[in-house]
Amino acid sequence: MPGSFRDPNRRTARRTARRTARSAAVGVATAALMVPLLSAGTHAAADQPGETSLQGRFADAAERYRVPESVLLGVSYLQSRWDAHQGAPSVSGGYGPMHLTDARTALAHSGSAGHEDTEDARGDTRRAARTAAPSKAAKALEALQEKSPPARLRTLERAAELTGRPRAELRSSVGANVAGGAALLAAAQKRLGHPLSADPADWYEAVAAFPGGGQGRPTATGFADEVYDVLRKGERRVTDTGEAVTLKSSPKLRAERPATRAPEADGGAECPRTVDCEWYPAPYEQFTNDQGQLDYGNHDRTRRPASQKIDYIVVHDTEGSYETTLKLIKDPDYVSWNYTLRSSDGHVAQHVRNKDAAWHAGNWYVNSKSIGLEHEGFLTDPDAWYTEAMYRSSARLVRYLSDRYGIPLDRQHVLGHDNVPGTTASTVAGMHTDPGPYWDWQRYFKLLGKPFTPGAGKGSGVVTIRPGYEKNKPVFTGCESAGKPCPAHGSAAVRLHTAPDASSPLVKDVGLRPDAGPSTTGVNDTGARATTGQQYAVAGREGEWTAIWYLGQKAWFHNPSSQPAAVPAKGVTITPKAGHAEIPVYGRAYPEKAAYPANVPVQALSPLPYKVLAGQRYVAGLRTKGEYLYAVDFDPDARNFQVVRGKQTYYQIQLGHRVAFVRAEDVRVISSR
Q: What is the mean pLDDT of residues 484-510?
A: 95
pLDDT recorded at residue 143: 56
CA atoms within 13 A of residue 146's CA, in its CB half-sphere: 6
Answer with the residue of higher pLDDT: 327 or 353.
353
Fold that domain 32-102+154-247 belongs to in CATH: Lysozyme (1.10.530)
pLDDT higher than 60, residue 47: no
668: left (phi over 0), alpha (psi -120 to 50) or beta: beta
Nearby residues of 236 by Cβ (< 8 Å), 6 or more positions away: 244, 245, 246, 247
Q: Give the pLDDT band of residue 267 (cuts 50, 70, 90).
A: low
For 597-653, write each residue's pLDDT tens digit.
999 999 999 999 999 999 999 999 999 999 999 999 999 999 999 999 999 999 999
Answer with the residue of higher pLDDT: 139 or 28.
139
pLDDT recorded at residue 151: 81
The whole-angstrom separation of Cα 428 and Cα 251 is 51
Q: Give the pLDDT band of residue 259 (cuts 50, 70, 90).
A: low
Nearby residues of 340 by Cβ (< 8 Å), 6 or more positions away: 280, 318, 322, 325, 326, 329, 348, 349, 351, 373, 374, 375, 376
pLDDT recorded at residue 139: 55
Answer with the residue of higher pLDDT: 38 or 574.
574
Helices 69-80/54-65 angle, 10° precision: 130
pLDDT higher than 80, residue 13: no
Nearby residues of 285 by Cβ (< 8 Å), 6 or more positions away: 296, 297, 332
Answer with the residue of higher pLDDT: 380 or 69.
69
pLDDT recorded at residue 60: 97
Which residue in 659, 657, 627 sits closest to 643, CA to CA?
Answer: 627
For 411-425, write each residue's pLDDT tens digit.
999 999 999 999 999
Q: What is the mean pLDDT of residues 457-466?
A: 95
Q: Are 57 and 64 in contact (CB under 8 A)?
A: no
pLDDT higher than 90, residue 86: no
pLDDT recorded at residue 489: 87
Give, as one character, the DSSP assignment of residue 372: E
Query: Residue 593: how many CB atoms within 10 A of its CB?
Result: 12
Q: Are 591 and 645 in contact (CB under 8 A)?
A: yes
Q: Are 302 and 284 in contact (CB under 8 A)?
A: no
Gyration radius (Cα) of the chain, Å: 25
pLDDT recorded at residue 320: 77
Q: What is the mean pLDDT of residues 42-54?
A: 53
Q: State CA 183 to chain mean position distance.
A: 31
Cα 108 to Cα 7, 15, 105, distances in angstroms: 17, 8, 5
pLDDT higher than 80, residue 326: yes
Answer with the residue of higher pLDDT: 95 or 1.
95
Which residue in 227, 134, 112 sits closest to 181, CA to CA?
Answer: 227
Q: Specify burial of residue 615 (Cβ count, 10 A radius: 0-12, 13-18, 19+).
A: exposed
Q: Where in the sequence of the chain do the CATH 1.10.530 domains occur?
A: 32-102+154-247
Counting residues of the chain whose pLDDT is more than 90, the rounded percentage is 72
pLDDT recorded at residue 253: 96
Q: What is the mean pLDDT of residues 355-373?
A: 97
pLDDT recorded at residue 144: 52
Q: Give the pLDDT band of residue 216 (cuts 50, 70, 90).
A: confident
Which residue in 239, 275, 272, 222 sits closest to 76, CA to CA?
Answer: 239
pLDDT higher than 70, residue 132: no
The per-residue pLDDT of the chain, averaged, comes to 87
pLDDT recorded at residue 117: 52
Phi, psi of 493 (to 5 degrees): -100, 145
Q: Where are the alpha helices (DSSP H) in 379-472?
A: 388-405, 441-447
Which residue in 187, 124, 113 sits closest to 155, CA to CA?
Answer: 187
Q: Are 305 and 353 in contact (CB under 8 A)?
A: no
CA atoms within 13 A of residue 238's CA, in its CB half-sphere: 4
Q: What is the mean pLDDT of residues 250-268?
A: 67
Q: Are 369 and 311 in contact (CB under 8 A)?
A: yes
Answer with the residue of higher pLDDT: 21 or 350.
350
Nearby residues of 89 by Cβ (< 8 Å), 6 or more positions away: 22, 95, 102, 105, 106, 109, 384
What's the pTM?
Answer: 0.89
Q: Are 581 and 613 in contact (CB under 8 A)?
A: yes
Which residue in 278, 362, 368 sits closest to 322, CA to CA?
Answer: 278
Total length of the chain: 673
Q: Are 434 and 446 in contact (CB under 8 A)?
A: no
pLDDT recorded at residue 420: 98
Helices 174-191/54-65 angle, 10° precision: 30
Query: Residue 72: how many CB atoms within 10 A of its CB?
Result: 28
Which residue in 199, 161, 173, 203 sits closest to 186, CA to CA?
Answer: 203
Q: Are 344 and 311 in contact (CB under 8 A)?
A: no
Q: Give the pLDDT band of residue 214 (cuts 50, 70, 90).
A: confident
Counting residues of the chain whose pLDDT is more than 70, the rounded percentage is 85
Bridge partners, residue 11, by sequence: none
For 192-209, write each residue's pLDDT tens digit.
999 999 999 999 999 999
pLDDT recorded at residue 17: 37
pLDDT higher than 90, residue 19: no
Q: What is the mean pLDDT of residues 51-65?
A: 94
Q: Are 345 and 276 in contact (CB under 8 A)?
A: yes
pLDDT recorded at residue 148: 67
Bridge partners, residue 618, by sequence: 574
What letter represents residue 431's amino acid? Answer: M
Q: Are 610 and 585 in contact (CB under 8 A)?
A: yes
For 432, the enclosing helix (H) or strand (E) is none
The whole-angstrom separation of Cα 408 and Cα 98 is 35
pLDDT higher than 50, residue 567: yes
